[in-house]
Chains A and B, each alone.
Chain A
């Protein structure tokens, strides 16, 4: 029997069959010390054991490909000692109890799911096991101490029972005040390569994504949105749209017009038949060439101080060698395979939303605000996400809020579906950035003075994260990985500054966020310094990293596995990069050639130190995927604006990596006792500089702009 989430909640509240584990972890910052005693429980449901022995894990985070549907379940199962084959997952509803243990709202992002839930989900498993054991002890009238639990069976002497047979009795017990978690040496699942448990539905077409939601009475809407950033709806005529067979309504959305129809195709034809007048973009609109020229000009002067030590002017003046370089990256679309969509039903003062979101709390609040109801009247059904990469974690709740407005105006349940063009031109991009670096090297070639100016839009300004993550005007995501670069610890003069110009182009986090450009600038510039010093890029980095044992060991591992000390085949060259982000360190060596004027990436050797590795098979997948994602940006990704209008529209003019371009990837996970880091994003950033550095080794062309283009 499959319960819907609503039924589950109802059954939970009514105390029906099934074991519900309650627990609570106080909000602690990642850096803060962990509480000494295990957390006290409060009523919440993260796990349900059915009478049929099924173990259903409720995920407080969203499965968007990163594998937490498997990884979080492993954490519970490790402590619960259940039968892994009986484990199922469901997305939890939107509710305060499912708030991220560190960020305090229900969301998925920042490569934080596994490390932030590592204690909470293991505790759930241990608490449930404790309750099952106590239920068994009461039933058999034996001491709990002599009861054994393995593979979903509970045994004591001649007595034995399955989890399902004891679940109802166990549920009636008070959850334990404290539990003891297993010693890592006793782990059976954690650290074991484990296949995904969402595979069966994803290879049969049964997996439900937001776009797949269907129910009687649900209509589909396609929306005309402003064609340029900064332009506004002036007036529209929906008469022709209403003549399209299947079109039922034309409704304004505030700054757009929605066509509501029986199905997507009618809605799309109706949308195309709308006659709309838009205002010219305010201020003429952003044009890429002009904007980048302005950013370059801005970069000539220091901005808001991010980090400063010593006297930078004197440091640069005293340096033996001075290098200067400007690095540039464009706006990027996330281009998830599933175009944005959201289904909304408003009925009897309540609202139901079906969508693939990374941001339940924000979306719930936005819907409540639009409808003038309390957040707890907004139910969010999180579907699978057909890719997230940050686009579905929008503090502005754009695709959800719009759908709520349309459903409200239309008076019928509506699923808003974006076309690929709508999705690509809909904004919330990785911002364009310019980095200007002046580096001074000493007589041994080491960087002793480093002046680094960053220019690019703030992602966090104006969002609820601003108070937490923007300090003294500096958006931490704009400069992550720079000021704390391990290469610069020995520099006597350092200055990192930031300009955050405002533009009408909306921006957002994009897999690995600021690291997408900071790693490119830093790892390319260090490579330039190595060559200026006449040193091997590996040896040069190893010398700078000699007091950074994790970095040094990882770089050595990647280089050894890539065969750095033996020359590559004729016509090929290697480049390397190492970057720390989201609490993990990743080193990559890329081997490339140039074929018919195009960069061809043959092999990528990747070494990662992410602390405890929960599912090595999932880690390997995330690294392969991150490299593919980073390669798309390194080789192809670029959005171009002309007077506020995005020129690219679909996969023919916004190319992403295809199968024929995918290199061989070797992944080496370093055994590590370091604090656990993230894995969904950290391997994205190093690939662009690794390739740019390989291109230099092969061609002596230093490519400082993404996407990489040979002269």
Chain B
């Protein structure tokens, strides 16, 4: 279990995260939602160990994160970035093979075989020999997912965690669902997932729990059912929504109202300005 307690972060005099506490258990998917600039990415960077811990506590299975060396951490968790540009023409399978870096690389033939197996998991085995730099954005992301799976599935660690940094933003709807179904399937192997998700519908469909961030603080946390409410949408996103029920499933649907934007406070109009202008 990843335990986060009273975690805070400041950069350049700005408080990016403000005493956030939550837990991530093996085998569950937790979605992080919130407006742009709410601190989602910062939270992910600290919890995944990329940024060092400033204030508060963070532990992986009872071990404080400061005591885990980078290589050990890489055996316990993987991070799927928003985008992964690359200026050198690696083949797709070679990119996937890099996922095994923390475990030491095998002979090329074996690396290739494993890599192609991982590519199959994301439906991209046909891209194995293609030049990664020439792939489309969506193809790149699915190859990266295979790379991340290669890292996670090569690990013998008892508990493993996956962090997704809004990684489906560049994918079409069908591929978005494909990625989340693959991620969902990982939970049966005891992998805990923390995913930044912009699309509320994806969060509702695939997450067990949600964390709602606002201005660096935790606005609400709990089950999808309890947290995804029109009230929360107004507070987190300043967005008016209707909550509908899914015709065939239990998760809530939040659709934007006809006039969805919560009106910003009108700026007081000074007649003096008009006179001066």
A and B associate in one complex: no
Give B residues with C-beta under 8 Å from A: none
Give A residues with C-beta under 8 Å from B: none
